[in-house]
Chain A
Amino acid sequence: MATLFQGLPSSTAFSSSNKFNHVPAPTSFSERKSSIVTVRSDARWSPVLNYATHKPQRLITNAVATKADSSLASTSSKPGHELLLFEALREGLEEEMERDPCVCVMGEDVGHYGGSYKVTKGLATKFGDLRVLDTPIAENSFTGMGIGAAMTGLRPIIEGMNMGFLLLAFNQISNNCGMLHYTSGGQFKIPVVIRGPGGVGRQLGAEHSQRLESYFQSIPGIQMVACSTPYNAKGLMKAAIRSENPVILFEHVLLYNLKDRIPDEEYVLSLEEAEMVRPGEHVTILTYSRMRYHVMQAAKTLVNKGYDPEVIDIRSLKPFDLHTIGKSVKKTHRVLIVEECMRTGGIGASLTAAITENFNDDLDAPIVCLSSQDVPTPYAGTLEEWTVVQPAQIVTAVEQLCQ
């Protein structure tokens, strides 16, 4: 498995390597001493994910910018254990499979191969080939099979090797997964979890860089969550498995190697709640998945410039946690949405509508939504980098918003 973050844009001077000690520009103390993959899921940010540091402008990052964070219980219990995000997913999955024998996994290469991102590594040996089922390459049908199995009492987790492949399963997800509980008058529940890596990776090409959250969000009857840290990955995985509703869990292809410390004790997060990443006063920045890190990167700069952004990882893409979001809007009166989804019809678009509808009176300025460009993700590193939102753009947007 390739190491670390494969998301470094290759347009940089140090494009040939993944080694961070080749990164010339940043001079921050904290960067120099940071280990490659350490990311605190509380607000202490070790700027390893310098996607944008190749940019000519220098982001001054030497301040420990964060306030004491009381709302994150994530790593508060020091004794936890450290692991990478994909291991956290696996841990959650394994715990649930041990807890309930009806939980099973199906997908391509989940069994003997251990999953293309190793989320299910070792599980087939432990639980058997039927519980961790290697399917043929037939997304529509094995997703439908998972739905049928769920209707008849099992709790399958369906893995799309890449989220984009689930486009082939759209028929089953939309028609059956979302609808059948309703159409059957409540007789059958469909407790499936559909998960897989999505998002823009490192020059993976257009088809492997899709963000399907926008396509699935209109389907009634499903819930969508996006994980971004090892802590919430495990918690959301467990919550999704335990939920009686069909849940789509969006993972990000570049975040699998995030390392963090998570509690030893069992915990399950709420599927509907958002996560307060960094409390602040001046502006509410709503984000999810990988963009959380771009936002936190930008937050460092913003803090240095004297701004105090409140960063919320919305986590629940459908439904939105309007309570957490609303509280924040009422406090700061300015909203910036940063997402990796496409501009048109994306999560940001829906979120903008929801906030305007509910909290219009609390807004001092129009909502600004930074999304990816409406282009198929190009292969070339430079172009790819320009399709997604970079920290510099976030900084600029906040500055404009706060004028």
Chain B
Amino acid sequence: MSFSATNFAQPRPVPVGIRSNEKSLSSDPFRFRFRGSPSFLGSPHSLRFNPTPPLKLAIPHSRRSPAAAVTDVSNGKMVKSSANMLFGFVLQLITKEEGLELYEDMILGRFFEDMCAQMYYRGKMFGFVHLYNGQEAVSTGFIKLLKKEDTVVSTYRDHVHALSKGVPARAVMSELFGKATGCCRGQGGSMHMFSKEHNLIGGFAFIGEGIPVATGAAFSSKYRREVLKEASADHVTLAFFGDGTCNNGQFYECLNMAALWKLPIIFVVENNLWAIGMSHLRATSDPEIWKKGPAFGMAGVHVDGMDVLKVREVAKEAIERARRGDGPTLVECETYRFRGHSLADPDELRDPAEKARYAARDPISALKKYMIENKLANEQELKSIEKKIDEVLDDAVEYSDESPLPPRSQLLENVFADPKGFGIGPDGKYRCEDPKFTQGTAHV
């Protein structure tokens, strides 16, 4: 039995202090009711993650299990009284179909990344591979709300963003294998996932360098609306990046421009506390990244990134704001990566206790628990989703294995959109007209 959305009151933004992860987005972004010591994830002045800080309602509580709201519900506090509207609100978040979609997307992300690790250790892919395990709630929570025409920009940890945006697992896997059938013809690799069809414009290896590109995509959208007068051009852009990027100049420059011109962009910070081996607390003077939004005149929100429903909630409002033309939002998602920075990272610096704590907040288990407890789905349905994804991935691996490697003729092909850019050769003809050029053996 599923709860339909009409059983209870319409979901509305939760007042600050109750689900204290989120600042009330509808309130003045410049004034936050959040008060209290800036003890974000433990005191910023202590270098170790403080596991049990005083639990003040005003503090963005990340230590409470994301399923807390869920357990409150399951403890039978679900009553229609106004006193418990907040719990009623929690219940209202998704329908069964939506829940299954979210679950499937997160499972796809998780299983895909696990498969990547396997394939890497079997020698099918090389180089730097950065896995997204543990952070699925952010990708799913945001990207599943987008239209196909909306744009997503990511970093090197982009496999799951690509999958959530709709790039087929086959295309991503064969790109990782370096095959010609990859989404970028094998020329991009793990850190450069692109898809014109799905409006995924990267995949960037250097941190921060995708943020201006995302700002440009948002600018395009605004330009189309205002200069080219395309009324339907309300596309939004999502830029995903990490905590380490938030100390980079490009981030701030783009916050400024986006707020200045009210660009339809959402800056999503996936704060997993670690930039390879550098703790966010050691690198940042004020570790509360969401605060940096209001400094530029835009809404800054902090959300528990291990809870897909909370992320989705925040994402909805931010996306709507952008679509309306009311400008950008900075969303900080507190999340965690279960694996190392990359498959080459020994991951020795992180405290096992910290890892265990976050493992207990696995977004997939949380959603599973939520769905089962709210009778949105049963074990079997979820298991069948997992089985389906297993098959998708087996097929993706098989497809990638069987796909051809890029031939030599591909070497020179996409350097220029207009290959005349290779210039005029000594014989007076454009170099691209040289038959050796198409064979990939021309010396340009």
Contact = CB atoms under 8 A, between A and B. Distances in A.
Contact of A135 (B184, B257, B416, B425): B257
B434 to A, nearest CB: 12
Of A102, A142, A151, A358, most B-chain CB atoms within 10 Å? A151
Contact of A186 (B203, B260, B414): B414
A149 B223 contact: yes
A140 B426 contact: no
Given A145-B257, A152-B216, A131 B421 contact: no
A319 B212 contact: no
Interface string A302-330: 00000000000000101111111010000
Given A184-B202, A323-B427, A153 B220 contact: yes
Contacts of A220: 415
Given A152-B151, A244-B417, A323-B425, A147 B227 contact: no
B212 A150 contact: no
A378 interface: no
A245 B220 contact: no
Contact of B430 (A144, A272, A324): A272
Contacts of A154: 219-220, 223
B254 interface: yes
B127 interface: no
B209 A272 contact: no
Interface string A354-368: 000011000000000
Contacts of B430: 272
Interface string B197-230: 0000111111001011111111111111011100
B183 A140 contact: no
A318 B254 CA distance: 31
Contact of A149 (B220, B250, B256): B220
Contacts of B201: 148, 151-152, 184, 188
Interface residue range, chain B:
35 or more
B420 to A, nearest CB: 6
Interface in A232-264: 243-245
Contacts of A273: 424
A96 to B, nearest CB: 15
A136 B215 contact: no
A221 B187 contact: no
Contacts of A130: 222-223, 226-227
A145 B414 contact: no
Given A184-B192, A185-B188, A189-B417, A322 B212 contact: no
B424 A140 contact: no
Nearest to A243: B418
Contacts of B423: 272, 316, 318-322
B424 A148 contact: no
Contact of A148 (B186, B187, B219, B228): B219
Contacts of A358: 426
Contacts of A148: 153, 201, 212-220
A243 B421 CA distance: 9
B217 A149 contact: yes
Given A148-B153, A184-B194, 4 more contacts: A145-B216, A148-B217, A183-B188, A183-B203
Interface of A: 101-102, 104, 128, 130-131, 135-136, 138, 140-154, 171-172, 175-176, 180-191, 220-221, 223, 243-245, 271-273, 316, 318-324, 326, 358-359
Interface of B: 151, 153, 182-188, 192, 194-196, 201-206, 209, 211-224, 226-228, 249-250, 253-254, 256-257, 260, 413-418, 420-428, 430-431, 444
21 contacts: A101-B227, A101-B228, A104-B227, A130-B227, A131-B223, A135-B257, A142-B253, A145-B212, A145-B213, A145-B215, A148-B216, A151-B213, A175-B206, A176-B213, A183-B184, A187-B195, A188-B196, A319-B444, A323-B425, A323-B428, A324-B424
Q: 8 closest Cβ contacts across the A-B interface?
A: A148-B216, A144-B212, A319-B423, A185-B185, A184-B194, A148-B213, A185-B184, A141-B253
